[in-house]
Amino acid sequence: MQITNRPTRFLPLLLLTACLTCLAVPHAWADGGGAANGGGAGGDADGAAAAAVATAAVAAQLQHAIAAQGGGRLPARDVRLFAEVLQQVRENYVSPVDDHALMQAAIRGMVESLDAHSTFMSGDEYQDMQVTTSGAYAGIGVEVMPGHKGVVVVRRMPDSPAEHAGIRAGDVIVRIDGAAVDPGNVDAAIQRMRGPQGSLIRLAVQRTGATAPLQFAVRRAEVRLVSVEGELLTPQYGYLRITSFTDSTADELEAVVQRLEQAAPRRLAGFVLDLRNNPGGVLDSAVRVADDFLDRGTIVSARGREEEANFRVSATPGDISHGARLVVVVNGGSASAAEIVAAALHDNHRAELIGRRTYGKGTVQTIMPMAYGTALKLTTSRYYTPAGISINGVGIQPDVLLTGSEKPPADMDVVQDDPQVTAALTVLRSATLAAVR
C-alpha cells in the first residue's frame, strides 16, 4: 500500500463503541429554614466564606495544571463554575464521594460529550482494548451483543471452551454464575465471563426451541483471538469470514486463502467475503485486507484538523486471489474498518455487496496513551470512501438488498446452510456480475 501523509504519532483505530446516555435529574429541595442548613446567618456566612476559598483553590489548581501542559488559560468563569460545582458535590452530596472518582467522571463526561465514539479509558479498559486488537485472554471464547433478556452469542471462537461445551451462535446468555445478565451492559457480561484459566463459570442459556434455559458449566481457558475463518463452499468457490480487524488479520486472511486454494481441485473462481457483525478494529489491518484484493486505486482517505490526521492510502499490485470474483456480505453490524474494506472493494469495481445497509461509522479514533496507564480514544479524522463519500451516520447500501428476518451468521460447520451465504453464492456464480467486469 502507498500512504500519503500517514499519521505516525499515535495508533489509529476504528472501533465501534456503544452510545452512552447521560440522565439529568432535577434538583430536590427540602423546605427548611436557614438554621437547619448551617445554624443561622453567622453559620451561613462562615460556610460561604470557606466554600469560596475552597472553590478559588480548586480553580487555581486547574488553571495551573492546564498551563503545565502548555495549554492556554481556560475561561475564568467556566473554571470557577466547575470548581464551585465540584466543591458543592464534595461537601453536600448525600454520601461521601471520592475525589478521584469525581475527577475521573468529569474527564469521561467531557470526552464522551463530543461524539458517540470518543471516550476516556481507565487502565483496565485500555488493557481490554489492547487485548481486542491483539493477543489472547482467559475466558470462554464467545462474542456477544445485546439481546432481549441477556446477551446474544454472535460467534464462538474455534476450539474454545464455549465450542467444546456446546454453546451455539444465537444462544442468549441470561445468567452468569446465578446472577442475571443486564442486556444493556454488555461490557459487564464480558468481564464476568473472563477470569483465571481453569476457573469454572456456570451459564444459563436460552435457546430457540428449548422450553427452559439450558445449563452449562464451562471451564475458562486461554482464548486466542482468531479473526479470520474460511471453508470451501464448493470445489470452485471459497468462503471467508472476518469478524474483526486485529493486528494479525491480514496475515490470517492470507493463510486461509492459501489453505483453501490448496484444498481446491483447481484455482478458485470466487470468494464470498462475510463482514456481517464485524465492528471494526485497527485501521492498518483493514487497509492491508483491502490491498490484498486490489492491484490499484484508492483504499481510503481521511481529513482532520492536524496534518497527521490527513492521509490517503492507495493499493499496490498483488492480489492474493489472482483476480477471483468477490461478493461481500454486510449488515447493520458491519461498521468502521469493515465498511472501509467493503467500500474500497466496491468503489474500485472489485466486488459486489449483498445484505443490509451497514452501520455508518465514518470517523477515525486515535488512541493516545495518558498518565497512570489510562488512554484517550479521540475522534481525529473523518474518512472518505474511494468515491469521496462520507458514510458517517448513513452507512453503505448494498447492491443486492436482502429483506426479511435476519439470523446471526451460522457456525462454520454449517455455513452452507446460512441463507445469506447461499444468496451471495448465487450472485457469485452469475456470469453477469457487474462489479468484476
Least confident of 80-84, 317-321, 330-334, 363-367: 80-84
**b or e along 212-231 (b: 16 or more beta carbons within 10 Å of the residue's beta carbon)?**
ebeebebebbebebbbbbbb
CATH of the domain at 387: 3.90.226.10
pLDDT(14) > 90: no
270 and 317 fall within a common domain: yes
pLDDT(328) > 70: yes
268 and 408 fall within a common domain: yes
154 and 261 fall within a common domain: no
The proportion of the chain whose per-residue pLDDT surpasses 90, expressed as a percent, equals: 68
191 and 279 fall within a common domain: no
8 Å CB contact between 277 and 145: yes
209 and 165 fall within a common domain: yes
Please indicate whether residue 46 is annotated as part of the active site.
no
Among residues 244, 336, 381, 418, the one annotated as catalytic is: 336
Among residues 274, 284, 301, 361, the one annotated as catalytic is: 361
255-273 pLDDT, tens digit each: 999 999 999 999 999 999 9
Please indicate whether residue 149 is annotated as part of the active site.
no
Mean pLDDT, rounded, for 86-96: 93
- Domain count of the chain? 3
Please indicate whether residue 336 is annotated as part of the active site.
yes
Least confident of 33-37, 318-322, 352-356: 33-37
The pLDDT of residue 50 is 65
Would 29 be classed as within a structural domain?
no
The pLDDT of residue 21 is 29
220 and 243 fall within a common domain: no
Least confident of 57-61, 207-211, 239-243, 343-347: 57-61
The pLDDT of residue 148 is 85
185 and 265 fall within a common domain: no
210 and 271 fall within a common domain: no
Least confident of 274-278, 390-394, 410-414: 410-414
Would 403 be classed as within a structural domain?
yes
Last residue of a domain, one of 176, 195, 224: 224
> The whole model's pTM is what?
0.74
Domain that holds residue 379: 228-436
pLDDT(44) > 70: no
pLDDT(12) > 80: no
326 and 339 fall within a common domain: yes
Residue type for 191, please? Q
pLDDT(22) > 50: no
SS (H, E, C) the chain: CEEECCCCCCEEEECCCCCCCCCCCCCCCCCCCHHHHCCCHHHHHHHHHHHHHHHHHHHHHHHHHHHHCCCCCCCHHHHHHHHHHHHHHHHHCCCCCCHHHHHHHHHHHHHHCCCCCCEEECHHHHHHHHHHHCCEEEECCEEEEECCCCEEEEEECCCCHHHHHCCCCCCEEEEECCEECCCCCHHHHHHHHCCCCCCEEEEEEECCCCCCCEEEEEECEEEECCCEEEEECCCCEEEEEECCECCCHHHHHHHHHHHHHHHCCCCCCEEEEECCCCCCEEHHHHHHHHHHCCCCCEEEEEEECCHHHCEEEECCCCCCCCCCEEEEEECCCCCCHHHHHHHHHHHCCCCEEEECCCCCCCEEEEEEECHHHCEEEEEEEEEECCCCCCCCCCCCCCCEECCCCCCCCCCHHHHHHCHHHHHHHHHHHCCCCHHHC
8 Å CB contact between 265 and 273: no
284-327 pLDDT, tens digit each: 999 999 999 999 999 999 999 999 999 999 999 999 999 999 99
Among residues 171, 274, 284, 347, the one annotated as catalytic is: 347
Mean pLDDT, rounded, for 103-126: 94
Query: Is the C-alpha dihedral spanning 154, 157, 162, 166 positive or negative?
Result: positive
Least confident of 58-67, 180-189, 234-243: 58-67
Least confident of 88-92, 127-131, 367-371: 127-131
Can you read off the three cell numbers belonging to residue 132?
Answer: 481486542
211 and 237 fall within a common domain: no
335 and 307 fall within a common domain: yes
CATH of the domain at 177: 2.30.42.10
- Work out the mean pLDDT of the chain and round it to a whole number: 86
246 and 301 fall within a common domain: yes
Would 15 be classed as within a structural domain?
no
pLDDT(336) > 60: yes
Can you read off the three cell numbers belonging to residue 87?
Answer: 466543591
Least confident of 128-137, 172-181, 238-247, 366-375: 128-137
Mean pLDDT, rounded, for 15-43: 37
